[in-house]
Amino acid sequence: MNNLTGKTALVTGASRGIGRASALALAQAGAQVLVHYSSGEKEADAVVADIRAAGGNAQKVAANLRQADGPHELAKQVRAVIGHRLDILVANAGISKAASIEDTTVEDFDNLFAVNVRAPFFLVQQLLPVMCKGSSVVLLSSLAARAAVGTLPAYAATKGAVDTLVRHFASALGERGIRVNAVAPGVVETDMSNFTKTDSGREVTLNMQALKRVAQPDDIGGAVAFLASDAARWITGETLHVDGGSKL
Ligand SMILES: NC(=O)c1ccc[n+]([C@@H]2O[C@H](COP(=O)([O-])OP(=O)(O)OC[C@H]3O[C@@H](n4cnc5c(N)ncnc54)[C@H](OP(=O)(O)O)[C@@H]3O)[C@@H](O)[C@H]2O)c1
């Protein structure tokens, strides 16, 4: 169903966690995958090696998406590798910081918005010239955008902004045949949500979910590959909750 043979894909933040799982899922479906990283070059090399070992096609690309020109720099590298057609953009790279309203600094706030909102916005802008009819953009939202979970007001606001971008991008790009959606995970066991490794963190997580296990990155990667595929050809402007029934 998710046949992506012959398609080109960029996954940001693919060195670890959900990005890594998304890159593997897209490659397994047949796409050529550009594995983006910032600080995790060794980890990105390992993802590329895993994809190639399974018979797939992957290259690494690097950029710090906290820098204002990071998306522009990344888009240049991507265009140099894939030429003039990008079929799939997964804007996954993100940061979080738990802090109360009182404890959130201006620097934290600006960093969160730079990586989680500004970078996906300008990456879409910079890659639009190589996206065409049938291309698909998948952004990473979060359960935090629709429910007060954890102590994450600034982070949650970045994901609310992502949901808004999805609708506006989808509306603006539909004419060109480009679909734009988001996946909104609940808690997923990654470096970002490493509290799931403690008994109390695990209990809090399971208590808010209908399904009683802690999500792993590949629970999300499959949903990303689905949204990128032709099986989702009539879905655009949507945020798909992939959260085991969290906060129902
Ligand atoms: N884990 C969860 O519970 C959860 C829940 C809902 C939504 N999400 C969202 O899912 C996405 C992935 O989260 P994750 O849990 O997989 O996170 P993670 O394990 O912490 O990985 C974050 C990824 O983002 C990249 N990244 C971070 N800062 C960057 C920067 N300045 N420039 C470029 N790349 C940068 C990292 O690259 P390097 O390591 O190479 O620097 C890494 O590949 C994020 O958007 C997150 O908000 C996660």
Q: What is the pLDDT of residues 211-221, one digit of tens each?
A: 999 999 999 99
For residue 169, how far is the Cα from the chain centroid?
A: 16
| Assigned domain for 233 exists | yes
Range of the domain at 58: 8-242
Nearest to 187 by CA among 172, 207, 169: 207
Which whole number is the average pLDDT over 103-117?
98
Separation between Cα atoms, residue 132 and residue 213, nearest integer Å: 39
93 in ligand 1 pocket by Cβ < 6 Å?
yes
Within 10 Å of residue 47's Cβ, how many Cβ atoms?
A: 25
Kindly calculate the radius of gyration of the chain based on its CA atoms and give it in whole angstroms: 17
| Assigned domain for 69 exists | yes
| Assigned domain for 167 exists | yes
pLDDT above 90 for 5: yes
Give me the residue label for tokens 């397994």. 28
Active site residue 155: yes
Report which ligand 1 atom has the smallest distance to the Cα of 217. 16
* 3-state percent helix, strand, coil for the chain, nearest multiple of 5: 50, 15, 35
Gap from CA of 92 to ligand 1 centroid (Å): 7
| Assigned domain for 203 exists | yes
Query: What's the CATH code of the domain at 21?
Result: 3.40.50.720
Domain total in the chain: 1
- pTM for this predicted structure: 0.98
221 in ligand 1 pocket by Cβ < 6 Å?
no
Give me the residue label for tokens 């989808």. 170
Residue 151, burial from CB neighbour count under 10 angstroms (0-12, 13-18, 19+): middle
| Assigned domain for 1 exists | no
Name the active-site residue from 17, 31, 122, 155: 155
Q: What is the pLDDT of residues 231-246, one digit of tens each?
A: 999 999 999 999 999 9
